[in-house]
Each structure stands twice: as C-alpha cells, then as structure tokens.
A and B are shown apart, each in its own frame.
Chain A
Amino acid sequence: MTASLTGHAVGHAFGSVTALEELDLSVEGGEILAVVGPSGCGKSTLLELICGLREPTRGTIDVGGREDAAGRLERCAYMPQTDCLLPWYSAIDNAGLALRNRGLSRSAARERSKRLFTQFGLSGFEDARPDELSGGMRQRVAFLRTLLSEKDVLLLDEPFAALDAITRAELQEWLRPVMAAEERTAVLVTHDVEEALFLGDRVAVMSPRPGRITKMIESPGGDGRSRSEVVTAPEFTALRQRILSLLTAAAPSVPARTADPAGAKP
C-alpha cells in the first residue's frame, strides 16, 4: 500500500506575501493528482511544503502517516522544473544519484539503473554527458532519477514545461503507462490543462494567489487508447474547456489565454 497524502487548512506566507491559504488536499495511495492554476498561485510552493523542504506557516500536511518535515522528506521525491542534471556526471550516474546518496557504490548504482535505462529507451546513452542528450531524453533521465529514489510519493513540478509541443506530447504518452505500472502516489503540477487531464486521475484547480484548491475534477481516463484519441474525445474537450473557463474566470486580467486550446504555457 503506497502512502496517501492529506493537507488540512494549509497556509504559507513569505514575509507579508501570502502564497497559500486554507488549502485542503487529499490524495489517495497510488493516485495521480494533477494541479493546475494561474502563474504565481503557489503551485511550486505547495510541492515544497508537501515534501518537507518547507514547513507551512499554517495547517498540517500528512504524508503516509508522518506530519513532520523530516518524515515527509523521507517519503517524497521531488522533480524540479528544470531537469537539474549534474553536468559532471554521466546520464546513468545522474539517474542513480539517490542510490549513491544511500551509500551504494557507483557500480552497484549503475547496475540498478541499467535495466530502467533500457526500459525508458535510453540504452546506449548511459555514459553520455547531459549536454549530449536531447531535451526529451534529459527529462526522462530526470524522471528516472526521481523514480530510482524508490519513494512512495513523487512530486513533479511542470516536468515537461521546457519542451517543445511535439516532444511534450510524446513524453506525456510515454509517462502515462509508466505511472500506471508504478503504483505510486504523485502530485503533478502543470500549466497545461490538457496534460493535467491526460496524466492525472483527478485535476485540482487552484485560485490565483493566495492559492487554494477551488475545484476537483475527475479525469475521463484513457482505457489504453492513444493520446490523440483521448484528448480529442468530446468528454475530454468538454472538461478541458470547463477547467480553462474556471481558470480564466478566476484571473480576468489575462483574457488572451482563453483562446489557447493547448492551455496556458509559460
């Protein structure tokens, strides 16, 4: 049984700026929750609070039965917006960082990472330097690194935001079965409404700052269909339209975003 995750009346302030306020959150074990919201609504802060890199100024967060920051940190792996691959390590050594940090030797860590490298279509690039990899490959290595932490909860902060539209779609299609097989709890923060609906079991819609979750929407589910089939289904497009109107209603200052069918991009 993987860890579940709850937040109760979570609030966080940076000095006089309130980033999050009265945020309630509940993610079941094994569930993928996608979080969408306007820029600056505190999505990234929420992830840092969940994984114990920060303590909320108000409220409590429980990850798998632990409410203290150290306990939450033990259970969560965080994938930042930028891939953060360390240029002085090869691709496979980057992927195995968590294993090295837990005391495995370099060769043992490589041995463990090797199988997933092949499975992720990265075989042959084990010893490549990060700057020799394409954007999509870098992101897969970064995800692999998160996965190899073997933690119950994965926190993904806009993992594909830096990629071009085609690579992003490919990686979304690739990530879905991977996550389904992994049975881990995940929180995926994204700007991209389509990505949220496609990858998340549920989508949490956040309000502008101070951020709180204003709406929870069930994803339509994929049932093994391809991405293009899923995202063009009438049910899916209707939900996407609904989320987009929720976001624009909350943030009337950016009306141009309504016309963007792919969702707001940074």
Chain B
Amino acid sequence: MRAVRHWLPPVVLILALLGLWQLAASSGFMADTLDLEDFLVPSPSQILDVLWQDRDLIAENARVTLVEIVAGFGVALVVGLLAASLLHLSDLLRRTSYPVIVASQTIPIIVVAPVLVVWFGYGIGPKLAIIALICFFPITVNTLDGLRSVDPDSVKMMRTLYASRWQIFKRVEIPTALPYAFSGAKIAVAVSVIGAVFGEWAGSEKGLGHLMLQDNAQLMTDRLFAAVLVLSAIAIVLFGLIALLERRVLRWR
C-alpha cells in the first residue's frame, strides 16, 4: 500500500506525458506544427514497435555499450577511491595534484574523443578512457570530502586507544566516507552513459551511440528514440543497483 502511494504520482505523470505525446504524434499534430514528414515524429507506440522488431540488433549494440560503461565505471571507481585515499593521506599530494584533477574536468570531452580514437583505435580503449575520465571526478571529490569530514574528536579518542594510522583509516575514516563515496558513484554512473555515447560517436563499429548515428543518418527517428530509451534504462538500472548496494552496506544509517 505504501509502495503504491510512493510510486503512483511519478507513474501517473509519466503515463500522462506519454499519452499526450502519443496523441500529438499519431494525430499528425506534431508533424504538421513542425512542418515535417510523419515518420520523423514517431509516437511512443511506434518507438515500442521498432524496439520489438529490431530487438536483436538493439540488444547486440546495447551489450557492447553496457560492457564499455561497466568497465569504464569500474576503472573510475578503483582509480577514484585510490586517488581520494592518497590525496587524503598526503597533504603534499593533495596540494599538488588537486588542481590537475579539477583541470581534467575542464577538458571538452567531445573535442578530445576523436583524438583518443586516433591514438587508440576503434576498440574499447578510447570509450573506456572517456567514461573513466568523466566518472572518476565525482567519485574522487565526494570520497575525499567524506574522508575529510571525519570528527576530529573521534580521531583523538582512537589515538589514545592505541590506534595506528591505518586503524584510524579503516575503523573511522573509511566508514565516515562511505556514504559520500556512494553519492559520488551514483552521480558517476548516471553520467557514464553520456561518456559512452561520446566515445562511440568519435569512432566505433558497434554500440548504442553508433546505432544512433546510423539511425540519424538514415532518418530512422523511431529507432533512434528506441536506442535512447534503452540507454536510459541501462543508466537507471545501474543507478538502482548502486542504491541497493548502498542500503545493504550502510546498515547503520
């Protein structure tokens, strides 16, 4: 009952919007207003239709993109957590490399992506690099903030209770930082799909981003929307998995 009350408003809103879209598209109203051919303005039912018809093609491309996202996110997670720990433990390192880390986020990915393809070829390498580059920033910054938000009294208490630097890190600082790290991971996974599409646009032979480019060129707008739908679904499911893990790990909250 509570679940129904919780989920009802967003579901109603989404259904209402889809209904409006369906009406506007299938009546020809949207195409007329925009002065376009009907097939360029697909209705939700047409999108679902093509999603079902081309399910093998879309699934094959989705699998490629999913592997890129999971691998890129995984690299970012390992590098981000490690970087945050090192930056936390060394003042010198933090002062020297923090500006570099911030600067890495000012790189316009769209511009750099083709260069990476020139360097590393059409394989998974450049996509992985782009996704990791986007994802590691929120993970690193959030985790570092978490590590630095530790209650100084708790550290003093631990120091008088025989704790070594490592024990303080393990028993006080890491648990304090965990909720922050999870927030960072959730932001990262949401933006990771954008990184995957950029990477594929710069040069690829497979993947949802690649499919979108093709669909766009062939004016297959309905399949383009279907690919976007699948991409969103991937992001939502990955986000949900992290939120689920967070609930299981952070039992004390």
User: Which residue on A lies nearest to B178, using beta carbons?
Assistant: A88
- Interface residue from B153, B154, B252 paired with A129 (Cβ < 8 Å): B252
- Interface residue from A48, A79, A84, A98 paired with B162 (Cβ < 8 Å): A98
User: What is the 8 Å Cβ interface bit string for chain B, positions 162-192, against chain A (1 contact, 0 not)?
Assistant: 1110010001100100000000000000000
Interface size on A, residues (CB 8 A): 28
Interface size on B, residues (CB 8 A): 19
A sample of 7 cross-chain residue pairs with beta-carbon separation below 8 angstroms, ordered by A number, consists of A86-B175, A100-B167, A101-B162, A101-B164, A101-B171, A129-B252, A131-B252
Query: Is A34 part of the binding interface, using a Cβ–Cβ cutoff of 8 Å?
Result: no
Query: Is B160 part of the binding interface, using a Cβ–Cβ cutoff of 8 Å?
Result: yes
B175 and A82 form a contact (CB under 8 A): no
Interface residue stretch chosen among A13-21, A70-78, A220-228: A70-78
B252 and A78 form a contact (CB under 8 A): no
Give the complex CA separation of A80 and B158 in angstroms: 10
User: What is the 8 Å Cβ interface bit string for chain A, positions 108-138, against chain B (1 contact, 0 not)?
Assistant: 0000000000000000000001010000000
Query: Is A51 part of the binding interface, using a Cβ–Cβ cutoff of 8 Å?
Result: yes
B157 and A80 form a contact (CB under 8 A): yes
Shortest distance in angstroms between A95's beta carbon and chain B's nearest beta carbon? 11
Shortest distance in angstroms between B218's beta carbon and chain A's nearest beta carbon? 55
Residues of B within 8 A of A101 (CB): 158, 161-164, 167, 171
Give the complex CA separation of A146 and B172 in angstroms: 17
Interface residues of A in 137-190 (CB under 8 A from B): 145-146, 149, 151, 155
Shortest distance in angstroms between B245's beta carbon and chain A's nearest beta carbon? 16
B153 and A87 form a contact (CB under 8 A): no
B156 and A53 form a contact (CB under 8 A): yes
Shortest distance in angstroms between B182's beta carbon and chain A's nearest beta carbon? 14
Known: A88-B175, A101-B167, A129-B252. A77 touches B160 (CB 8 A): yes
Query: Is B159 part of the binding interface, using a Cβ–Cβ cutoff of 8 Å?
Result: yes
Give the complex CA separation of A78 and B164 in angstroms: 16
Residues of A within 8 A of B167 (CB): 100-101
Query: Is A49 part of the binding interface, using a Cβ–Cβ cutoff of 8 Å?
Result: no
Shortest distance in angstroms between B22's beta carbon and chain A's nearest beta carbon? 49
Residues of A within 8 A of B156 (CB): 48, 53, 78, 80
A76 and B160 form a contact (CB under 8 A): yes
A97 and B154 form a contact (CB under 8 A): no
Give the complex CA separation of A129 and B172 in angstroms: 16
User: Which residue on A lies nearest to B174, using beta carbons?
Assistant: A88
Measured CB to CB, the residues of B under 8 A from A are: 151, 153-154, 156-164, 167, 171-172, 175, 251-253
User: Which residue on B lies nearest to A79, using beta carbons?
Assistant: B157
Residues of A within 8 A of B154 (CB): 80, 84, 86
B162 and A86 form a contact (CB under 8 A): no
Give the complex CA separation of A89 and B151 in angstroms: 16
Give the complex CA separation of A48 and B164 in angstroms: 18
Give the complex CA separation of A102 and B175 in angstroms: 20
Query: Is A39 part of the binding interface, using a Cβ–Cβ cutoff of 8 Å?
Result: no
- Interface residue from A53, A81, A129 paired with B159 (Cβ < 8 Å): A53
Shortest distance in angstroms between B249's beta carbon and chain A's nearest beta carbon? 10
Give the complex CA separation of A77 and B162 in angstroms: 9
Known: A84-B151, A86-B154. A78 touches B160 (CB 8 A): yes
Residues of A within 8 A of B163 (CB): 97, 101
Shortest distance in angstroms between B5's beta carbon and chain A's nearest beta carbon? 27
B153 and A80 form a contact (CB under 8 A): yes
Give the complex CA separation of A53 and B159 in angstroms: 8
Give the complex CA separation of A84 and B150 in angstroms: 11
User: Which residue on B lies nearest to A130, using beta carbons?
Assistant: B252
Q: Apart from A87-B252, A89-B171, A146-B161, what 16 extra A-B contacts exist at CB < 8 Å? A: A51-B160, A76-B160, A78-B156, A78-B160, A79-B157, A80-B154, A80-B156, A80-B157, A86-B154, A86-B175, A88-B252, A97-B161, A97-B163, A149-B160, A149-B161, A149-B162
